[in-house]
Chains A and B, each alone.
Chain A
Amino acid sequence: MKNKIPLKLGDFALFAVIIALACGVWIRLALMQTEQTYGEIVVDGTLYREIKLGGTEQETITLEGRTGEVTIEIDGDRMRFVSSQCPDHTCERTGWISRVGQSAVCLPNRVMIKITGINQDGVDAVAQ
């Protein structure tokens, strides 16, 4: 019993779509595996800024938190709280963060900085 269906133009279009989708998936996976980290500044639970890290980026960001002014420094692949108008200054003592999963927080001001993205020695969370 022969069961041959001749291919038509529509079939080729379908194949093209399938190949395009496959490429899309592959590119997406490849992108996900690239090492790229981001510094996130979250103010009161809302993302305030996301900065691409790893370059020669130098920036000092000042923003207004709940109890006063907060200054955050970006330096290449790392970031930190430089100063904060708050009672405890715990955030300043935390120091630099650079690995995925690390974070620092100024509780009184409700400002948090954290590293997201992918790097080899990153973690999913840090027990503090």
Chain B
Amino acid sequence: MKKRWLCTAAVTILMMAVLAGCGQKEVTQDFYAMDTAMNIRAYGSNAQDAVNQCVRYINQLEQDISRTREDSDIYALNHAQGDWVELSEQTTDVLEQALRLAEETEGCFDPTIAPLSDLWGIGTEDARIPAQAEIDTALELVNYQNLQMNGTSAALPEGACIDLGGIGKGYAADQVAQILRDAGVERAVITLGGNIYVLGEKEDGVPWTIGITDPDSAGDYFATLQVSDTSVVTSGDYERYFEQDGERYCHIFDPETGWPAQTDLRSVTVVSECSTDADAYTTALFVMGSERAMEFCEAHDIEAVFVKTDHVVHVTEGLRDKFSLTSSEYTYEE
């Protein structure tokens, strides 16, 4: 009799295990932070708590590094008129990363670009082509080397302005991925305003499929990447722009000229385990133009996908077996 009950119990437990394994619990949350739409999709028993923790974290990060919130560290730094400002450890960390990436990209990514982007107003109703004199004046304030740092204090020349929008989402993605890992979440897709971070694999042995936006049709994608445990970030001229006399002016500025970057590139996608790096690199590579950008990738071991204005797509060596073109409008060149 005892045996029979043992047998029943064993079968029941087995069945429950089978049912439980058939689709891990999915938690998906849409929210808005850092002026963009975000989504975190996580799987596993602890997913809901972990996702809530991520949302709280991002809100708190925004409070530190937002340029527009009057209680933020960055707001204080931008309005200190040259005085030293004490920052939180987190703000200091983001600023240090921004400086490191500005140096590494020879200023093609520059966190002090704000006076220029404000002047042009691209993405707002007031977008316009400023007079060259205005551009020259704004350019004098743009130079990451003007930012002085000493421990957790920083100072900026009067009129200069830090905007961490260029790496903020990447930084947030890295931190969120770590929060999820620490909470025991093994599979997740983090989308922070178009910056993607995938955790783990989609299924055992199956990577995630990430689309890359078609610069000609922003709702669609022209290619896919099969990746796991990494970040995928894209920058392009289709995100925010305005057009005048048949010319497109995009939101990515060349810190050298003070004009929107006009190169032979439509978009750059970087795949990296560090989303902060990927975020800054996409901007910098876009500004560089394809030739210099490809050399830069080679020299710095960066994996990237370039879409050129002539619809030719270049993919760095490490990504070629992960990349598939899905649109016939583009041609692939190794």
**Taking beta carbons and an 8 Å cutoff, which residues of A are in contact with B?**
5, 11, 14, 18, 21, 24-25, 28-29, 32, 42, 44-46, 80, 87-88, 90, 93-97, 99, 101-102, 104-105, 107, 110, 112, 121-128
Contact = CB atoms under 8 A, between A and B. Distances in A.
B4 A127 contact: no
10 contacts: A5-B3, A46-B30, A80-B219, A88-B125, A95-B219, A96-B219, A107-B32, A107-B36, A126-B196, A127-B195
A13 B127 CA distance: 73
Given A32-B23, A102-B219, A127 B35 contact: no
B217 interface: yes
B171 interface: no
A interface majority secondary structure: mixed
A104 B213 CA distance: 12
B208 interface: yes
A35 B74 CA distance: 48
A63 to B, nearest CB: 16
B37 A124 contact: no
Contact of B269 (A88, A93, A95, A127): A127
B84 interface: no
A128 B30 contact: no
Contact of B210 (A29, A121, A123): A123
Interface stretch (B65-73, B110-118, B138-146, B232-240): B232-240
A14 B219 contact: no
A38 B224 CA distance: 21
Interface centre among A44, A46, A99, A123 (most CB of B within 10 A): A123
B202 interface: yes
Interface of B: 3-4, 8, 11, 15, 18-19, 22-23, 29-32, 35-37, 123-125, 189, 191, 193-196, 198, 202, 208-213, 217-221, 224, 232-234, 239-240, 269, 326
Contacts of B3: 5
A45 B11 CA distance: 42
A128 B224 CA distance: 12
B220 A127 contact: no
Given A45-B31, A88-B123, A88-B124, A127 B19 contact: no
Contacts of B210: 123-127
A119 B6 CA distance: 44
Nearest to B208: A124
Contacts of B217: 95
A97 B36 CA distance: 19
B218 A95 contact: yes
Contact of B37 (A29, A107, A126, A127): A107
A18 B15 contact: yes
A7 B197 CA distance: 55
Contact of B211 (A5, A32, A101): A101
Contacts of A125: 189, 191, 196, 198, 208, 210-211
Contacts of A80: 219
Contacts of A93: 218
Given A29-B22, A123-B224, A128-B218, 4 more contacts: A21-B15, A126-B211, A127-B210, A127-B232
Contacts of B29: 45
Contact of A127 (B18, B23, B194): B194
Contacts of A97: 219-220
A24 to B, nearest CB: 8
